Chains A and B, each alone.
Chain A
């Protein structure tokens, strides 16, 4: 997975324009050969601050990235980029070995929000609360998206270990041209951009669009048996129904073994029933009478991000749930993409309001939180310079520069209101929606046992939505499985 699409599986697109490539927030669409090794490049200067980054960014805008850091305060510091593996899982594994071997480089490492906390809890990376001064720490405390920053903190001590570089917030992206065929207007689109719908309203709207357009079905999303379903697509639906894996927002990062497992609950089953209904051809034992059937193609049970993106791009689907990268990729401006005026985005619909949610901190529109943070290698021999580079990454100009250059969504809410952000094409047009998503972001429950738990979650919810298992059985089996993992 790329640094742009936190959950997207890397895939190959051969005809990617330079503009798309540079501006794409999701480089998952471009598989570029690895151009380095994380175990240390022999050409790395001992005096340089080596930053471990993704291969696509390094190859496409590596020089501009370094220039931006220098312009943002790291002037006079020699900076080298060391590309790691494109796939996030492989990168995690490489970084595990590297840090356990006490390698001194890279001095700074970019880590996926999905696994950075495991490195924190295993004490593999430097405690920035000890390394940064109070002014820097206050800046992170006051100006960054709180829920995103939480992923870079130690859940026990609340110490800071990672500086957010860019968050990833999914939205429900849709074809405005299809919606216009169904009689919806720009006024509707403006309202949809910031006012989340209930799932029921959304299903009705979607059904109407499909019936009055060339779309074959309404929803394209990801429901394969993989991390993305557990951390994100199902996490969003479940949370929007007021459900949670471990009893609510406060228990996302532990304590493992001492928190309740809350999946065999009505709100969990309700969400599963709705998703099953969307996929089912007709109502049956495991569907929900309140929702129409056939909203989604049954193929979603084998889909990941790129399948969904291609479905809306090709015109098969009226809507897709996806990360910001999909906006960039689908409205690039090439003849094979969708004109920007025909491409809309709205917050993810919700099942119950926050007041009605069964689990604390859930309910309402929910966007799974992805993104990447930068951490400091505790074995670095250039700590002072590395800290300066880290400080440069916290400067507004750097965040806005990378948004313009590479599509990294700023990690600070106030930057969403700036003129510079709004002028970035095409992402600037979607800032209002992205801000709503960011303000309602739900981090995944990352702990040392999460990788094992996410496997079970993905498997059970996939089978329930595919109709191979009843939602009740899936919830009960998952409850047992998660409890067993918690007790180890």
Chain B
């Protein structure tokens, strides 16, 4: 026994002054904020691995050609092709969406040509229009749902139903509504000159309009729910004070509701914009990527024939989304939210 004690004694002494003890002491000396970051670090590392690895891997693949057979390192060749139009013919898509914003038909400052430019235009038009109307209508719905009235639960359920419908089913609903054989909406809208009467789902602008309306129909509920959460977090006593001060309904909205719901609104817009920029399923179901080419459409279309180029498009799409996200975050930061 004594021998064992004499052996184990010095060993424990060594452990107390070893790296674990040192780390423990370092942790104890950390400030509250530092300790919080430390506790968060495992999940941050995990999320970084999950989020960043595919992104970096996509970037790596975008530097190659013939990715799955005999990869050939080509550097930024895929990006050069993408931005100079060299790769355009490999991508599907109507040329109707090509915006001419300068005399030579290219965007100012950047030479973005052909089908990629068309896809960029489709993605941006769809994102801006759909998110704008979803926000507007969603705000209205949220304001209604925020009131206390009889049957509010039923109204809320009715608003949420479209959101619960899977994208493919949603797409088929609109496909059938506007298909020349089965569509009951085409004739009315065509009579008003809103959509093409015959080849409706193969007409680029008619299809884009239908897809945008379909998305607004479905996703407005998502916006409404997020905004409603923001509205319900507002301290009701503020309205009482405003009433005592003689504020009108508009003034209540202008000076209390809107400023206080703005953070929730910003988050909702951010989420929807990210989602809108990835639009694919609805397009594929309603009219097809050839008629309404989006950036995601191009990734899918080029995947089988040129995975390096597909990776480049995917990376650029991710980059555009990242810029949009950073823009919103910066704006919120600047405004002190």
Contacts and interface: CB of A to CB of B under 8 A. Distances in A.
B89 A301 contact: no
Given A96-B304, A468-B196, A302 B94 contact: no
Given A96-B304, A302-B202, A468-B196, A484 B89 contact: yes
Given A100-B68, A122-B69, A477-B95, A452 B305 contact: yes
Contact of A298 (B88, B91, B180): B180
Given A100-B68, A302-B179, A458-B290, A466 B305 contact: no
A125 to B, nearest CB: 14
A481 interface: yes
Interface string B186-215: 000000000010111111000000000000
B89 A481 contact: yes
A485 B203 contact: no
B95 A451 contact: no
A4 B198 CA distance: 30
B88 A301 contact: no
What secondary structure prevails in chain B residues at the interface with A?
loop
A265 interface: no
A298 B94 CA distance: 21
- The residue in B69, B91, B198 that gathers the most chain A C-beta atoms within 10 A of its C-beta is B198
Contacts of B92: 452, 455-456, 459
Q: By CB atoms of chain A within 10 A, which of B94, B203, B290, B291 has the most? A: B290
A484 B88 contact: yes
Nearest to A300: B180
A468 B203 contact: yes
A462 B305 contact: no
A80 interface: no
B90 interface: yes
Nearest to B67: A100
A97 B68 CA distance: 9
Nearest to B303: A93
Contacts of B327: none
A5 B304 CA distance: 23
B278 to A, nearest CB: 21
State which size class the interface on A falls in.
20 to 34
A123 to B, nearest CB: 9
A452 B290 CA distance: 11
A387 to B, nearest CB: 26
Contacts of B91: 452
A14 to B, nearest CB: 16
Contacts of A452: 89-92, 305
A302 B201 contact: yes
Contacts of A448: 305
A100 B307 CA distance: 13
Interface in A250-302: 298-299, 301-302
B181 interface: yes
B202 A224 contact: yes
A307 interface: yes
B89 A485 contact: yes
A488 interface: yes
A307 B89 CA distance: 30
Contacts of B198: 298-299, 301, 466-467
Interface in A420-477: 448-449, 451-452, 455-456, 458-459, 462-463, 466-468, 477
A226 B201 CA distance: 13
Nearest to B91: A452
Contacts of A93: 304
A179 interface: no
A307 to B, nearest CB: 7
Contact of B181 (A92, A299, A467, A485): A299
Interface in B224-253: none
Contact of B89 (A298, A456, A468): A456
A96 B307 CA distance: 12
Given A225-B288, A458-B290, 8 more contacts: A299-B198, A302-B181, A449-B90, A455-B301, A459-B92, A466-B198, A466-B202, A468-B199
Listed from nearest, the 9 A-B pairs whose CB atoms lie closest are A466-B199, A485-B89, A484-B89, A455-B92, A299-B180, A298-B198, A301-B199, A100-B68, A225-B290
Interface of A: 92-93, 96-97, 100, 122, 224-226, 298-299, 301-302, 307, 448-449, 451-452, 455-456, 458-459, 462-463, 466-468, 477, 481, 484-485, 488
23 contacts: A97-B68, A100-B68, A122-B69, A225-B202, A225-B288, A298-B180, A298-B198, A299-B198, A302-B181, A302-B201, A448-B305, A452-B92, A455-B92, A455-B290, A456-B89, A456-B92, A458-B290, A459-B94, A459-B291, A463-B202, A466-B199, A466-B202, A466-B203
